[in-house]
Homo-oligomer: A and B are copies of this chain.
Amino acid sequence: MAFLVDHSTNMTATPKATRDRLVEAGLYLFWLHGYAATGIAEILSRAKANAGSFYHFFKTKEELLLAVLELYVQSLEPVVVQPVLGQIADPIERVFGILDFYRRNLLATGCTYGCPIGRLALEIPEEQFRVHKRLADNFDGWTAAVEKCLADARERFPESTNLKTLSKFVLTVMEGGVMQSRAHRDVAPFDASVEHLREYFRLLLSQQEQKSGGARVVEPK
């Protein structure tokens, strides 16, 4: 499944720079097999690079992983967020549009999709602080994008609703839903989780609607 890079176009007329090929090979293989199960030899073979090139750019496999996580951070906006913002105007529906990106990944892979960041967050040993820091950065980038959508609908939520922690809750729903759907090889647990998140949002919004006398606050034109 093409997640961030289209792996079928590795052989285009303009060859990619060696470092880019190494990072893309790492991204693909760490996602497919995990970090521990991916050897340098496999990365070199996929990237069509030799060991000298690898060690020219990266001292260790961990250095390559950090570069992969940097690519994920940079790709979040163009790959995950912007397509949704371009298609959906309602800020709350945008949040569900982002969640739908993961649903489509599940459906496109027969529900074998696993979130690469989530997978690494549970796999990487606790000693690898720098990696966990970059994983947390990825989570923070994701929740910041969701929080921005929620903030655009601030007046529709009760004042007491903390939008920062709510954005983390949305990530929790995505990650927990994807995990269960992968184990069950069925999109139903993901859908069930998103449905309960929808119901939670509906209850929060209706609480606020009742408070403002049933009249939605509409900005004057």
A interface residues, Cβ below 8 angstroms from B:
33-34, 36-37, 110, 112, 114-115, 118-119, 121-123, 125-126, 132, 135-136, 139, 162, 165-166, 168-169, 171-177, 179-180, 182-185, 189, 192-193, 195-197, 199-200, 203-204, 207
Contact = CB atoms under 8 A, between A and B. Distances in A.
- Secondary structure at the A interface, as helix, strand, loop or mixed, is helix
Contacts of A132: 182-183, 185
Contacts of A118: 122, 179
A177 B193 CA distance: 14
A126 B112 contact: yes
Given A37-B36, A119-B123, A166-B196, A180 B189 contact: no
Which interface residue of A34, A183, A200 has the most chain B CB atoms within 10 A?
Answer: A183
A165 B177 CA distance: 11
Contacts of A192: 162, 165, 168-169
Contacts of A136: 183-185
A34 B33 contact: no
A25 to B, nearest CB: 18
B139 A168 contact: no
Nearest to A164: B192
A169 B198 CA distance: 12
Contacts of A37: 36-37
12 contacts: A37-B37, A118-B122, A118-B179, A122-B182, A132-B182, A139-B180, A139-B184, A139-B189, A168-B192, A172-B180, A174-B176, A203-B207
A33 B196 CA distance: 34
Nearest to A36: B37
Contacts of A114: 121-122
B172 A176 contact: yes
A164 to B, nearest CB: 8
Contact of A33 (B36, B166, B175, B197): B36
A207 to B, nearest CB: 7
Given A135-B183, A168-B192, A175-B179, 11 more contacts: A34-B36, A112-B126, A122-B123, A162-B192, A168-B189, A171-B180, A172-B179, A175-B175, A199-B200, A200-B203, A203-B207
